[in-house]
């Protein structure tokens, strides 16, 4: 099993200053694990942890889009703790806007963080995992990596990309002793839908009232979400410590319901297009 059977494990967690990442780091420190946590502000992270004993914390101010900075951060964590056991790619933010409204710079910034930032971490940690034939990578996606809503095109496109990247990675390292898990939460009661974590387009168009309605609905949602971030963090720890989760690990009853609906919709689409699909084969002579 990739997770240590004795002693403290060492985790590398990105996006640790708020929400699920912050809750996860706090729980890991309380259980006595070592944590290397990346953040855009070390001061904000350490202050947010409050009275949690931070003796086993290595807080790293890292721009995840900078490959050299990520490699340095991983090397620093290895030097401090000896090895990494679990990597959680959690960094990210939301974005609500119609596809036509999203600028090139807004789209690239999203993919820089969600995809290329994750890829930088993967390239930095995989050599040691392969050499040791041990380790667990958990990429935090979303139920919006499996389904989509109006206004979420940019965020969904990044999460869909993360799903494809992670599924390929899992197949590549399956024989190398490295475990890979996609974590797909539903709506959790964090600040994800507040201004610090939710991007909006610089330009909006009157042509998309449904997107404005979707935006208003989500901005009014904080405090009503079903998901408990403390329970979600505990579930991630369980996934890592037991090594028994499926590749796709949903979190939250809303995530389960939306995933089931997506499966039904895909099956209906496939059935409706089956005859035309088969008609495009080259006929046997």
Nearest-angstrom CA–CA distance, 149 and 168: 25
| Residue 141: active-site member | yes
Q: From the candidates 93, 155, 187, 208, which is the catalytic residue?
A: 155
Mark out the alpha helices in 149-228 (DSSP H runs). 153-173, 209-219
Residue whose C-alpha is closest to residue 58's, from 71, 48, 45, 47: 45
Nearest-angstrom CA–CA distance, 155 and 153: 6
Helix (H) or strand (E) holding 125: helix 118-132
Q: From the candidates 17, 141, 142, 255, which is the catalytic residue?
A: 141
Q: From the candidates 134, 142, 159, 187, which is the catalytic residue?
A: 159
| Residue 148: active-site member | no
| Residue 208: active-site member | no
Nearest-angstrom CA–CA distance, 104 and 113: 15
Helix (H) or strand (E) holding 39: strand 34-39
Nearest-angstrom CA–CA distance, 142 and 163: 9
DSSP single-letter state for residue 283: P
Calculate the CA dihedral of residues 264, 268, 269, 274 and round it to 10 degrees. Answer: 130
Residue whose C-alpha is closest to residue 184's, from 262, 278, 101, 98: 262
Give catalytic residue positions: 141, 155, 159
């Amino acid at each position: 099993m990739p997770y240590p059977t004795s002693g403290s494990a060492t985790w590398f967690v990105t996006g640790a200053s708020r929400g699920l990442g912050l809750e996860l780091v706090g729980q890991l420190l309380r259980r006595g694990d070592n944590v290397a946590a990346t953040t855009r502000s070390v001061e904000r992270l350490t202050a947010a942890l409050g009275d949690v004993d931070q003796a086993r914390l290595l807080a790293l101010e890292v721009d995840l889009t900078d490959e050299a900075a990520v490699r340095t951060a991983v090397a620093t964590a290895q030097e401090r703790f000896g090895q990494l056991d679990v990597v959680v790619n959690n960094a990210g933010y939301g974005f609500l806007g119609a596809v036509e409204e999203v600028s090139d710079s807004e789209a690239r910034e999203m993919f820089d963080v969600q995809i290329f930032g994750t890829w930088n971490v993967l390239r930095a940690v995989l050599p040691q995992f392969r050499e040791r034939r041990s380790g667990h990578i958990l990429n935090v996606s979303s139920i919006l990596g499996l389904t989509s809503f109006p206004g979420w095109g940019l965020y969904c496109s990044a999460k869909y990309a993360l799903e494809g990247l992670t599924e390929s990675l899992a197949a590549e390292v399956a024989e190398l002793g490295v475990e890979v898990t996609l974590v797909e939460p539903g709506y959790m009661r964090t600040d994800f839908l507040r201004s610090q974590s939710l991007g909006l387009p610089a330009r909006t168009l009157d042509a998309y009232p449904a997107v404005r309605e979707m935006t208003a609905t989500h901005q009014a949602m904080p405090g009503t979400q079903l998901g408990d971030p403390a329970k979600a963090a505990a579930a991630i720890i369980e996934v890592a410590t037991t090594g028994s989760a499926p590749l796709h690990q949903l979190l939250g009853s809303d995530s389960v319901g939306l995933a089931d609906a997506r499966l039904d919709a895909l099956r209906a689409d496939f059935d409706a297009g089956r005859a035309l699909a088969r008609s495009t084969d080259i006929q046997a002579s």
